[in-house]
């Protein structure tokens, strides 16, 4: 990668720490669901998702 691109990427990461953290967590969750989740895990996640949807729609 070009030196200027690395500098830009580092600057973006410093300025967008929360968004970077959000993207990382989202990626981890998707990967877990696709590769490792059991049927029981998926049932638990469906319940958590339904609860979260209710909270979001109330706001």
- Residue pLDDT, tens place only, 1-47: 788 889 999 999 999 999 999 999 999 999 999 999 999 999 999 99
Task: Please tell me the predicted confidence (pLDDT) of residue 59.
Answer: 77
CB 33 within 8 A of CB 45: yes
pLDDT of residue 40: 99
Asked whether the whole model's pTM tops 0.85, one would answer: no
Q: Is 10 within 8 Å of 18 (Cβ atoms)?
A: no
Domain count, the chain: 1
Q: List the domain range (segments joined by +) for residue 21.
A: 3-58
Dist CA 24 CA 42 (whole Å): 20
């Amino acid at each position: 990668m070009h030196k200027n691109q690395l500098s830009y990427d580092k600057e973006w990461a410093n300025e967008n720490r929360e968004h970077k953290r959000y993207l990382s967590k989202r990626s981890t969750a998707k990967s877990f669901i696709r590769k490792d989740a059991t049927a029981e895990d998926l049932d638990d996640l469906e319940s958590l998702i339904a609860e979260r949807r209710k909270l979001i729609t109330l706001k």
